[in-house]
Structure 1
């Protein structure tokens, strides 16, 4: 693992092998997701090395592809899940159910049915609750096993208000109610930990607010008796630099600040990186199909869309872009958009890119996190293929959908 941990702290879009990317686009067509599993392993190992005494779990919601989960497990990782599908996919990838943690957020009945059935044969499974209702529903199902309480610290952090979960009433038990809930859990369940997640996409300059939330978690752990807890889970949210001039997360500083913020504990520290592990391990390859001169800009149409990558439309997110086919051309400021019929389907406005021409392959970087996970069939577009790179080889880990795949559930229902 030490070789992985010594890898560069950030992988820029320029660091990818352009000739390899062009060959992948030619062989597998576009739009195409590409995931570098070696980079996934490097990122997980580097993060774990920065927290040598902590338990580091990969947050599966960032990318639940089987190949990615297998890569995390290969380097000794465990997995945190937020839904029953993630539990099942983790098990399919080879995870021991006794090492999984399920963080329930307003869970539907089928989620709790699945989790409690799984725990009946795997008592090491941990269920994290964020509401008393969830505890009562678990009791109704005869569950009396391992429980962690999700705290709402009242402090949200991250790159966008829609991911600042620490200040959102949807997530976690209100801070001052935690001791009362802890007493209730201890009556009929095994209280093993406390959990919180302040937000997502935190870089070094956002650590102060992030650690203010973490300090509240540590305070509450001592208040409810951390000597009786197995762990204190401060969540994930650790970011990567999306813009070319942003600095990578300073892991040494992060580790020191997190440990100082949480304070002295008998319980073990637990963290849940997701984005940090997979974001810069993935990109999208897309082909230019339209060049249109408009009064105020040049519009470059590509075959990827918000159905392929919704983050720019949902969060206003910046993703680096590179003309893989001709990086030596003079850069022109262009607007890059896809084929979906909405003004939201734009990846970049006035972005300097080596002058695109029809047929060029464009790469969209940092797409490994919440990329394929949020892909859709909007406009009845089949979802793209995904290729994994590992040890110099490439293989398809998700085939490209066909139009028959898009309509299959209707046809199978007799429509």
Structure 2
């Protein structure tokens, strides 16, 4: 086997749930309790390496909103990716994780005043930060704060794609200046700021021919716009990210090399550098959620497996009807082959939508079984909440290091104050 083939075997394009070390996951659940996120930072580094290999001449920026944990951000930085941040908080976390300002982009979407205030304050110490704006109004607000630094103009190309209508941004009026006004806005910005790029993003979870065709259309339109406004005066043309991963067990992995080739071809010849912003692709298959069965309830249609994780820990199934592979780590071993049947895995939240699957063919559960939920590294902990006054769960590395401590009820209520009479 050649070195290239060996590297490919060691760094496959997707890690399926079945490929995680069952005994190691059991050990971590025993040590830390459940629910629990397990994050493999080595896999994060591997995914970054694959992206850099597919886009060797591009600026690859990690969309930090997928997972902002310090260990993940540090791994991404060490792997050579920049940081694309959707809020001032994410900018702060990127800087704290060691990203220099030149490797941080702040994509301001209807930014609150306090976000702009903070980023402009940090700009004093990090003058190479880039602010991406999607409205002329945001340019005015930056100028009012004395900002005259690096700006990228976000464009709405009228082309959206993604796994769910709620994450298809490319045609939503919330995002970017209208395509037919983009040249005018760029000209205005050049009078007041250092315009370094233009930006667009089709959506999240792009996977499949229809989504990829929309992505290529977006890229082609951005190439045309860059040439119209003078690509020789731009540092980069950012065509977003959203590269998807296969959530179903039998879905094929994204052919990243083909996507990269098609992206370059659609963009066309430019003096500016291509930039991409993957998030989900970097971290999704680097994380699993572990949860334990506490209640087994047979019904006529399904067996309900009540577990200690819920939509407060992994929101995607409730919010997007998202599919996540589920594996019973205590079923299927030698001497414990289970009968299978329709199983509904349901959490403890007082909502009908608080389920991870409904009537899925799985080994029939026993109380105490440990379940693993796959591809939970992206938008898992990031979207966790304290709804129903449930403290947020812990996160550990595959090596066993505590990356985030389990929250306590005292932590949930620490900001509350009593009434005036108390």
1:269 and 1:4 mapped to 2: Cα distance? 26
Deviation of the 1:4 alpha carbon: 7.1
Question: Are the counterparts in 1 of residues 301 and 342 from structure 2 also a CA contact under 8 Å?
Answer: no
| Aligned equivalent of 1:359 | 368
Partner of 1:243: 248
Query: Does the residue aligned with 2:314 lie in a helix, a strand or coil?
Result: coil
User: Could you tell me which residue of structure 2 aligns to residue 346 of structure 1?
Assistant: 355
Q: CA deviation at 1:413?
A: 9.4
**Residues 108-138 of structure 1 deviation map (CA, whole Å, 9 limit, x = unaligned):** 0111111111112222110000001100000
- What does 1:4-403 align with in structure 2 at a 5 Å threshold? 7-205=11-209, 206-327=211-332, 328-389=337-398, 393-403=399-409
Q: CA deviation at 1:296?
A: 1.4
* Length-normalised TM-score, structure 2: 0.95
Indicate the RMSD between aligned Cα atoms, in angstroms: 1.5
Structure 1 segments (4+ residues) deviating >6 Å: 2-5, 412-415
Unaligned stretches of 5+ in structure 1? none
**1:87-126 superposed Cα distances (whole Å, 9 cap, x missing partner):** 1111111111232110000000111111111112222110
1:86 offset after TM fit, Å?
A: 0.3
Q: Retained in 2: the 8 A contact 1:337–1:346?
A: yes
Question: Helix, strand or coil for the counterpart of 1:366?
Answer: coil
Q: Structure 2: state its 5+ residue gaps.
A: none
**In structure 2, what is the Cα distance between the partners aligned to 1:331 and 1:150?**
50
Question: Match of 2:170, SS?
Answer: helix
Q: 321-330 vs 66-75, which deviates more?
A: 321-330
Measured after TM superposition, the shift of residue 412 of structure 1 is: 8.9
In the alignment, the residues of structure 2 paired with residue 134 and residue 350 of structure 1 have an alpha-carbon distance, to the nearest angstrom, of 48
CA deviations on 1:294-319 (whole Å, 9 max, x unpaired) are 12111110000000111001000000
Query: What do residues 378-414 of structure 1 show as CA deviations (whole Å, max 9, x unaligned)?
Result: 110010000012xxx2100100011111111115998
Q: Is the 8 A contact 1:58 1:272 kept in 2?
A: yes
Cα drift, residue 188 of structure 1: 1.2
